Structure 1
Amino acid sequence: MTVTAQTGAYRPAPPPKWRPLTDAAPLLPDERPHRVLGTGAELDPALMSELYTQLVKGRRYNQQATALTKQGRLAVYPSSTGQEACEVAAALVLEERDWLFPSYRDTLAAVARGLDPAQALTLLRGDWHSGYNPLECRIAPLSTPLATQLPHAVGLAHAARLRGDDVVALALVGDGGTSEGDFHEALNFAAVWQAPVVFLVQNNGFAISVPLAKQTAAPTLAHKAVGYGMPGRLVDGNDAAAVHEVLADAVARARRGGGPTLVEAVTYRMEAHTNADDATRYRVDAEVEAWRAHDPVALLESELTRRGLLDEDGIAAAREAAERMAADLRDGMNAEADLDPMSLFDHVYAEQTTQLREQAEQLRAELAAADEHDEHDAPDPHAQHGQEDGR
């Protein structure tokens, strides 16, 4: 607005000549989900072998974790059956120095990255903290609140870039998480700061019981990238080779300073949201069976077998490795945890606050009093022996 000299009245200033800040065309996602399997594309035998082995182990991991929930060894388990290609590819595409930011459904991604399977389930068991040290494995704690891990991933990636560290953060989120404010904030600042972070949206069809059509009117979730000024990629989430290829491109782009990428992997949650969910109330069996024909494990096994890159011995070896992993997981989860109540005060702050120290002393006194009470009430074995002699 400007002020006229004669009257002092405001009048609109002439608008500046508008021009787009960037050409949006290169940011637009693929018209159809990118695929590799079944297209005749060249495959890396070593990579395909690793992908297949991890997919087979991942499927067995989901089965075993679900069984442990039914046995009461887990409080809850959100299965990733049907989404194993996304989980495994996300883990394998990262270098050791990179960081993985998982959601609560991404325990398999953490395991595929090298985390002990029992440790990955500790949080879902209701035990100590997140169950593992994030600094040791470069895996952030499993995030139960939707999408809160995304701003954390951006912050870490931005800090790494400021320090000159060659680090990329890969953050996983479900389609339901894209409706959260944290999703908007993370993508906005990642693009503004050109942070080396990759966002992988596993679009498995439902945010618990809410289908994607009731969450967004966007053509795809990948199209949302354009509004933030980053590329969007659309990939077949059940094609392990395609997911790995797209994520590898995005990670490489981020590492060389190209900024963030939003990848939408179109997949399907074969099981219920968790063991506490009844999926039959919001989807029909015919839909689930249609997706079973696009099973990620079967797709890769069929392709590699047809190309002569996998034989019966290879299939047997992968299944044996999966059974060993399942046995180790059972042993780990069946072992009773040795819990120390005083550990509640560990890792809350780098240096304990006065209030925490007071609370710790109060608990320590209560535990000591409880021990004294138990010792006082315990029967005297010598007195009991004397009574038996008297009889």
Structure 2
Amino acid sequence: MAARERDFTAPTVQLLTPEGELRPTPEAEPYLPIVEALGDAELEQFYRDMVVSRRLDVAGANLQRQGQLALWVPSHGQEAAQVGSARATRPQDHVFPSYREHIVGMIRGLDPVAILALLRGTTLGGWDPAANGNFHLYTLVLASQTLHATGYAMGLQFDGAAGTGDPESDAAVLVYYGDGSTSQGDANEALVFASSYQTPQVFFIQNNQWAISVPVSRQSRSPLSRRGGGFGMPGVRIDGNDVLVSYAVTRQSLEEARSGEGPSLIEAVTYRMGAHTTADDPTKYRSDDEVELWKTRDPISRYRTWLEAKGASGAFFDEVDEHANDLAADVRRRALELTAPTREVIFEHVYHEPHPLMAEQYAWLDHFERSLDGDDA
């Protein structure tokens, strides 16, 4: 019996072409007014963020190769997806990252040294989300953050912090995960609960083509954006290397979420130019031709071309380069000054209140360590 013909395609929403020209696809036309409302300062900020992200990526990779970090998670190539979506959030929103969203954290107010401290092993957890723009902690267990985000979004509903009709106070939740994480049970369970409870939430998939060494073509026979419809929510596929469309689609999706229209899913089609982490060797599983192809779609180059055509000066680009280099140098210097935590930290925050079991265990460890030094009095 002949196989049935099935349509596994999905349109890709794009505003900015790889050549740096503003040529919206038909599906992108409704989002154009969102971009047109942006001022020059906001548009230039997108570029600044992307350049800073790439400079930080280089600094982090170098620190790891020099033995100063246990691991580094590159984001080279995914700058547009991250910057556009992060800039689309409002201050009251909550952002749940995976472990690659370094510039997203910085946009939300996080000191990047906090990320390096985590990867250097000098912190047991990370940072206080409430003090850092509601940017929640990195999650190394794939897709578990999608459940955390959905639970938090349900909590916002229960607390009356979403769906009231006030865009200045209503909050929404943005959760990042990768194409590999879409195959995890947690991600699918999160989509079930989000749809069932109509949470104020946006699922943002960074489809960088590779789940470590497994291509997305092996994980899904159809575009990941179509999974939204399968769970009863809108699903949009965007050019993840187009910072303008990343901003516009995420902005509209978040506004719809906070106004009570329920969750949605965005698939940002991008590419991981480097390794999955510094523990990975991508030359073992992907071709040079593939990497060269994606170099021609670089998110920073195309956006710079568009800004230049709009009249951005050479002085602006020089200033951005200087700022990014200074920031990377400062981050490197402060990262090298990080010291290991004292042993007392192990016992802090295990319980909300002081607990006799923690006191007992601390006393035991203190006695044990003193005995190693010959001081067993």
State which structure, 1 or 2, has the greater radius of gyration over its C-alpha atoms: 1
Q: Which residue of 2 aligns with 1:12?
A: none
Partner of 1:253: 256
Unaligned residue ranges in structure 1 (runs of 5+):
1-28, 377-391
Determine the C-alpha separation between the residues in 1 that align with 2:333 and 2:82.
24
Distance of 1:300 and 1:119 partners within structure 2: 29
SS in 1 for 2:180: helix
State the secondary structure of the residue aligned to 2:175: strand
CA distance in 1, matches of 2:359, 2:105: 34
Tell me how far apart the structure 2 counterparts of residues 312 and 371 of structure 1 sit (CA, whole Å).
62
When the two structures are superposed, what TM-score results if normalisation uses the length of structure 1? 0.84
CA shift, 1:210, in A, is: 0.2
2:336 equivalent in structure 1: 334
| Cα deviation, residue 102, structure 1 | 0.6
Q: How far apart are residue 46 of structure 1 and its match?
A: 2.5
Judge which range, 142-151 or 329-338, deviates more. 329-338
| Deviation of 1:189 (Å) | 0.3
CA contact (8 A) 1:161 1:167 kept: no
- The equivalent of 1:99 in structure 2 is 94
Cα separation, 2, equivalents of 1:49 and 1:226: 35
Task: Give CA deviations for 1:202-241 in whole Å, capped at 9, x if unaligned.
Answer: 0000000000111122x21010011111100110000001
Correspondence for 1:46 among 35, 41, 48: 41
**Superimposed CA distance per residue, residues 169-206 of structure 1 (whole angstroms, 9 cap, x where no aligned partner):** 11000000000000011111011111111110000000
Q: Shift of residue 53 of structure 1?
A: 0.6
Q: Percent identity?
A: 37
| Aligned-residue offset at 1:353 | 4.4
What is the correspondence of 1:5-44 to structure 2 with a 5 Å cutoff? 31-37=10-16, 38-40=21-23, 43=36, 44=38
Q: Is residue 117–residue 338 contact of structure 2 (8 Å, CA) maintained in 1?
A: no
- Note if 1:70 corresponds to 2:61: no
Q: Which residue of 1 aligns with 2:350?
A: 348
- 1:286 deviates by 0.9
Deviations 1:319-377 (A, max 9, x none): 11101210111111111415211101112221254433321221233345456649x9x
Aligned to 1:323: 325
Deviates more, 1:101-110 or 1:181-190: 101-110
Q: Does 1:164 align with 2:160?
A: yes
Partner of residue 112 from structure 2, selected from 114, 117, 125: 117
- Scaled by the length of structure 2, the TM-score of the pair is 0.87
CA contact (8 A) 1:122 1:130 kept: no
Q: Distance in 2 between matches of 1:344 and 1:250?
A: 41
User: 3-state DSSP class of the match of 1:129?
Assistant: coil
Tell me which residue corresponds to 2:138: 142
Superposed CA offset, 1:35-81 (max 9, x none): 11223556422321110110111110111111111111111111010
Shift of 1:295: 0.5
Q: Does 1:357 align with 2:351?
A: no
1:279 aligns with 2:279: no
On the 8 A contact 1:107/1:121 being kept in 2, the answer is no
SS at match of 2:81: helix
**In the alignment, residue 318 of structure 1 is paired with which amino acid?**
V
Counterpart for residue 122 of structure 2: 127
Q: Is the 8 A contact 2:78 2:272 kept in 1?
A: yes
Deviations 1:76-133 (A, max 9, x none): 1110100011121232121222111111122232123221111122221122122211
Cα distance in structure 2, aligned partners of 1:369 and 1:87: 50
CA distance in 2, matches of 1:178, 1:31: 17
Whether 2:243 is the aligned partner of 1:240: answer: yes
What secondary structure sits across from 2:260 in the alignment?
coil
Query: What is the letter of the counterpart of residue 291 of structure 1?
Result: W
Mapped to 2, the partners of 1:357 and 1:293 lie a distance apart of 59
| Secondary structure in 1 matching 2:12 | coil
> Aligned in 2, Cα 1:178/1:356: closer, same or farther, shift over 3 Å?
same
Counterpart pick for 1:197 among 187, 198, 201 = 201
Q: Do 1:197 and 1:254's aligned partners in 2 also have CA atoms closer than 8 Å?
A: yes
1:80 aligns with 2:75: yes
Q: Which deviates more from structure 2 when the two are superposed, residues 317-326 or residues 361-370?
A: 361-370
- Does the 8 A contact of 2:179 with 2:206 survive in 1? yes
d(CA) in 1 for partners of 2:93 and 2:178? 21
State the distance in 1 between where 2:374 and 2:175 align.
Answer: 49
Amino acid in the other structure paired with 2:192: N
Query: Residue 224 of structure 2 corresponds to which residue in structure 1?
Result: 221
Specify which of 185, 188, 194 is matched with residue 184 of structure 1: 188
Q: Matches of 2:258 and 2:9 in 1, distance apart? A: 22
Secondary structure of the equivalent of 1:276? coil
